[in-house]
Structures are given as C-alpha cells and as structure tokens.
Amino acid sequence: MELPKLAVFDLDYTLWPFWVDTHVDPPFHKSSDGTVRDRRGQTIRLYPEVPEVLDRFRGLGVPVAAASRTGEIEGAKQLLELFDLDRYFVQREIYPGSKVTHFERLRQKTGVPFSQMLFFDDEKRNIVDVSKLGVTCIHVQNGMNLQVLTQGLETFAKAQAGP
Ligand SMILES: [Mg+2]
C-alpha cells in the first residue's frame, strides 16, 4: 500500500477535545502526579489513542506535522511539549488564518508535494480549503484514533490509484 510522505494533524478537536483558546486556561504545567493541568488546575487530556496513532506513523516511517489556526500559539506549543508530542512533529504551523497558508509553508519547508500529504481535521471548512490543493483530507468526527488512521491510509492509497 502506498504511504503518504507527510501526515498533518489539526490540534483542537483532532488531537485534544477542546479549543485551546477558549475552554482551557493557559499557561499549562505538569503536576507532581504527571498529569497536565491548566492555570486553574483543570486536568488536560489528549484523545486517548493519539500517542499510539503518532507512534504508528513513526513506525511506518511517515513524518508528521501540525497545522492549527488557533490564536493561542504559546499554549498550543506548550501542550505539545508537555504531552511529549514534540518529538513526533517535524514541523508545526500554528497561527490564525486560512489553512492554505499553513500547507503552502509545509510544502516549502518539507519539499513534499500536496498530492503526497494526508491531512486530519475536525472542521469541514478546513477540509474544503485544503482539499482544493490536492491534499487527501480526512474529516475527523470524534477525535483522532486508530480507526481514523486506518481510514486515512486507505483513502490516501485509493487516491494514488486514481479514479
Ligand atoms: Mg480543530
């Protein structure tokens, strides 16, 4: 099966179940029990299968990047670091605006053409915008998990096979 050369993940409601600029209160920290918490002490969690999903891509030799439109740039970067996810991401494009910009920069920085990218996002408008570039896009409905990963790889392989 043909694999993508870059897998790109949205953050809010794709890797974690909240908007980092709205529902939680940065800055974040790791408490003595190892949980990640926000300023008010609220426990912050990823969707449970996210580390395994990223491990799976690593095992397949597929580099991973993040593309987020959040305005809470520092908070988002901090969460990637506190959840020990930084080590998976070859690029992080985190700033407001159309995701077309995020993807153009990813293409410039990685040299991977749009047709070789696979993108996961919970928001339909991002899927619509990024699909137009020729990226294979997967609409994530209940957070990233292993089933969505498999669906993504199959959809990518089919797209390569042509109509
Ligand atoms: Mg999102």
Q: Where are the domains of the chain?
A: 6-161
15 C-alpha to center of ligand 1: Å? 8
Check if 25 is active-site.
no
Mean pLDDT across the chain: 97
Question: Are the C-beta atoms of 99 and 130 separated by less than 8 Å?
Answer: yes
69 C-alpha to center of ligand 1: Å? 8
67 C-alpha to center of ligand 1: Å? 9
- Comparing CA positions, the residue from 102, 119, 143, 142 lying closest to residue 14 is 143
pLDDT at residue number 35? 97
Q: What percent of the chain has pLDDT over 70?
A: 99
> Residue 22: what residue type?
T
Check if 86 is active-site.
no
Residue ranges for the chain with pLDDT beneath 50? none
pLDDT at residue number 163? 66
Q: Which of 12, 38, 121, 129 is catalytic?
A: 12
> Residue 146: what residue type?
L
Q: Is domain 6-161 in CATH 3.40.50.150, yes or no?
A: no
Q: How many CB atoms lie within 10 A of CB 22?
A: 11
pLDDT at residue number 162? 73
